[in-house]
């Protein structure tokens, strides 16, 4: 991973410690790179709880509670699935306070006119005193498979930081 990703993971960890929070992840297109970036940081056991690589639709359903209806109606790379993945993470990791999820098309194939290669949906869920808050954001990244996956990790970590700074 890059120095930028290491820095983003370190900063997210510092914010989680400050907020007495724990991170959990669920990944599809990033295939474990997001949780790997977090756990590459010394001391991450104080702020990283657990992660899932739910690459297949069946895994998303069985491990995170993503509904077959969402997958059928919207597809795995969608706002609905990213949101359900994030909620599923918090349901399955009751100690976690922040969930980061990725689902996308890293390429080189697999794209379509409505869902091009490089499209990634991100899910974010936070436990707050007022309840769980869920966000989903999409981005389209340029470059090869490696570039899309690394950009996805960086974006997820940076957005996680932004959300924690708002609380």
Q: How far apart are CA 101 and CA 37, in angstroms?
A: 14
Q: Kindly give, in sequence order, each residue whose CB lies less than 8 Å from that of residue 136, ignoring residues fewer than 6 positions away.
A: 79, 82, 83, 86, 121, 122, 123, 124
For residue 61, is pLDDT > 80? yes
CA 147 to chain centre: 16
Tokens 């990725």 sit at which residue? Answer: 102
Kindly state the average pLDDT of the residues 87-112. Answer: 97
Cβ–Cβ contacts within 10 Å for residue 94, how many? Answer: 9
* pLDDT at residue 1 greater than cutoff 70: no
Give the right CATH number for 3-166 from 3.90.950.20, 3.50.50.60, 3.10.580.10, 1.10.357.10.
3.90.950.20
Q: Are strands 23-27 and 98-104 parallel, antiparallel or unpaired?
A: parallel
Question: Minimal CA–CA distance to 75: which of 34, 109, 112, 108?
Answer: 112
Share of the chain above pLDDT 90, in %: 97
Residues 13-21, mean pLDDT to the nearest whole number: 98
Q: What is the pTM of this model?
A: 0.97
Other residues' Cβ atoms within 10 Å of the Cβ of residue 103: 30
Model pLDDT for residues 127-163, shown as the tens digit of each residue: 999 999 999 999 999 999 999 999 999 999 999 999 9
Q: Where are the domains of the chain?
A: 3-166
Mean pLDDT of all residues in 60-71: 98
Query: Residue 167: which pLDDT band, with cuts at 50, 70 and 90?
Result: confident
């Amino acid at each position: 991973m890059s120095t930028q990703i290491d820095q983003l993971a370190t900063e997210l960890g510092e914010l989680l410690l400050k907020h007495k929070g724990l991170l959990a992840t669920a990944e599809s297109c990033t295939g474990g790179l997001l949780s790997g970036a977090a756990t590459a940081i010394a001391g991450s056991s104080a702020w990283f709880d657990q992660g899932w690589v739910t690459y297949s639709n069946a895994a998303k359903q069985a491990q995170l509670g993503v509904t077959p209806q969402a997958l059928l109606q919207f597809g795995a790379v969608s706002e609905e699935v990213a949101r359900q993945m994030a909620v599923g993470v918090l349901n399955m990791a009751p100690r976690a306070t922040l969930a980061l999820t990725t689902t996308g098309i890293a390429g080189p194939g697999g794209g379509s006119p409505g869902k091009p290669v490089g499209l990634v949906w991100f899910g974010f869920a936070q436990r707050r005193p007022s309840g769980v808050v869920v966000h989903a954001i999409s981005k389209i990244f340029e470059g090869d498979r490696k570039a899309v996956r690394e950009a996805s990790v960086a974006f997820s970590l940076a957005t996680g930081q932004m959300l924690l700074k708002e609380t």
